[in-house]
Structure 1
């Protein structure tokens, strides 16, 4: 109990531009991933915007994808846990793909609008002559 109030006090008394330690960020993410708190509830508990916590979660998920230890984790799990982990990983990857596709569509739209309003060609023409 003492650690919870200590963490809460630390966050409440920090300067607005102060950064939180990676250990505390990790603790908040673990509470959310374990299902103890929702992202919004964690934001209320620790006095942080839920969008900030969401960005931490995205970075954490990307770090997990890059430094994946699933082969080690899978060998120590039974089939049910392995299935749950794989489904969770599929959901995370599906969400990451959807985000990337949405970003791509947004960038394409931005280029089209800029080309039509500024009346300049931004995209490189295929098959252009070499000099």
Structure 2
């Protein structure tokens, strides 16, 4: 709660320490301890926001019932989008394959590879 307060406001360590009745050094320690977790949470929230905005602006699904003709039209739009994304995926995979061959480097992650911490 203290670290989150620090990251979500423009308040200083001293000010937050006074609000929570703890020493600024304690606030600093907590801020450092939860820095990674908060940044991960923040990036997840940004992804959710971005994804939501894409869904809302792309083709919103109306709350009211759609007619049969509207549903057919929506289905055609979605099938078209799916086809485009499939083509995009195939193209990107081919580009990666070509780059790996021409540059003689490994781009894709190998299964079972250890992750650095």
Q: Normalising by the residue count of structure 1, what TM-score does the alignment of the two structures yield?
A: 0.42
Bigger radius of gyration among the two: 2
Q: Normalising by the residue count of structure 2, what TM-score does the alignment of the two structures yield?
A: 0.47
